[in-house]
Amino acid sequence: MKTLQSLLSGFLLEYLPRRRGFSGNTVESYRDSLAALLRWFDSAKGVRPETLTVIDFDAANVSEFAAWLVEGVGRAPSTANNRLAAIKSFMRYCQLECPEASKVAAGVLSLKPMSRGADSVDYLTVDAVRALVDAASSDERDHALVSLLYDSGCRVSEIAGCVISDMRTEPPCTLKVIGKGRKARVVPISAPVGRIVTRYLASRRSGSGPSDPLFVNRAGRAIGRAGIAYVLSCIAAKAHETSPDTVPEKVNPHRLRHSKAMHMLEAGVNLIYIRDFLGHSSVTTTEVYARANPEMKRKAIEDAGAMVLGASRYSAEERQDLEAG
């Protein structure tokens, strides 16, 4: 039987990038999922990665790992499902490369995704986003980074991959990004955020060329996904100290993307436009935001009832009292 180490290397270095043609960001996502599983074996089971075999990746252990992500460290079910999808992809590869593991792989492939409740979209209020942007305003790079991350609704990998020429700072401001499947899209950016990025580029990147990274770390190299997540976590901790009831203690970049989508939906923006804005391949993916918004559900039910029964005879305050009772 092939060693787990050789299977992992073949999967990440040969199968995904060369045979499947996956992008570097996608391969990194798969790598991170498998690395998280290895760390879980070490911390929760006391099994060092070098002693593991592919047989250890059975349905019971993988299911326990997914449950731990949600219940143990507070990850959203969607995050656990992304990890599970990556592990399943690896086990399909193992079926081809290591037939002895076929039975174990079949067990993992039969696992169902974790249930995602109607309120599973983790997003911030408008006031919370404002507090984050204010907390970042003392540093021009951080101010531009957080503002653009929210305003563009981009994935953290898309922002990390941008170069200076991707950002158009003259009105109408836009940002060109490369999304999943190497698909390019141009995202409209608000004029205030365009001015914030312009000030950052003028003061901190004046000697840089068009092909240089849009955002760099303290060493002057392109900032990566982990670097952006770290910057945001520090800003969130600062904002939480000032506004503990408004800003949660921990905020990750994807939460800002969810927040932008929800705020657009609450503002009445059509789901089709939100789909294109976010770079989703199908509106089915975008519909999760509509399902997650209880206020929109309530209004839709009220509007439907009013069509048949007429407007409510109760005032807004009276309806609130009835709901509270």
Cα R_g (the chain), whole angstroms: 23
Q: What is the pLDDT along the chain (325 residues), one digit of tens a residue?
A: 789 999 999 999 999 999 988 888 889 989 999 999 999 999 988 999 999 999 999 999 999 999 898 887 777 787 888 899 999 999 999 999 999 999 999 999 999 887 765 445 778 999 999 999 999 999 999 999 999 999 999 999 999 999 999 999 999 999 999 988 788 999 999 999 999 999 999 999 999 999 999 999 989 999 999 999 999 999 999 999 988 888 988 899 999 999 999 999 888 888 899 999 999 888 777 877 777 665 555 555 455 555 454 454 545 555 455 444 4
Residues 51, 177, single domain; the answer is no
Instruction: Tell which of 57, 83, 109 closes a domain.
Output: 109
Alpha-carbon gap, residue 37 to 42, rounded angstroms: 9
Report the predicted TM-score, pTM, of the whole model to 2 decimal places.
0.62
Question: What is the Cβ-side half-sphere exposure of residue 181, based on CA atoms within 13 angstroms?
Answer: 5
Instruction: Tell which of 109, 142, 170 closes a domain.
Output: 109
Does residue 89 sit within a domain? Answer: yes
Q: Is 185 helix (H, G, I), strand (E, B) or coil?
A: strand
Residue partners of 230: CB distance under 8 A and separation at least 6: none
Does residue 121 sit within a domain? Answer: no
Does residue 101 sit within a domain? Answer: yes
* Number of neighbouring beta carbons within 10 Å of residue 312: 13
CA triple 165-166-167, angle to 5 deg: 90
Residues 87, 190, single domain; the answer is no
Does residue 203 sit within a domain? Answer: yes
Instruction: Tell which of 109, 137, 164 closes a domain.
Output: 109
Residues 285, 299, single domain; the answer is no
Does residue 115 sit within a domain? Answer: no
Residues 85, 158, single domain; the answer is no
Range of the domain at 15: 4-109
Element (H, E) at 176: strand 174-178
The tally of domains found in the chain comes to 3
Does residue 114 sit within a domain? Answer: no
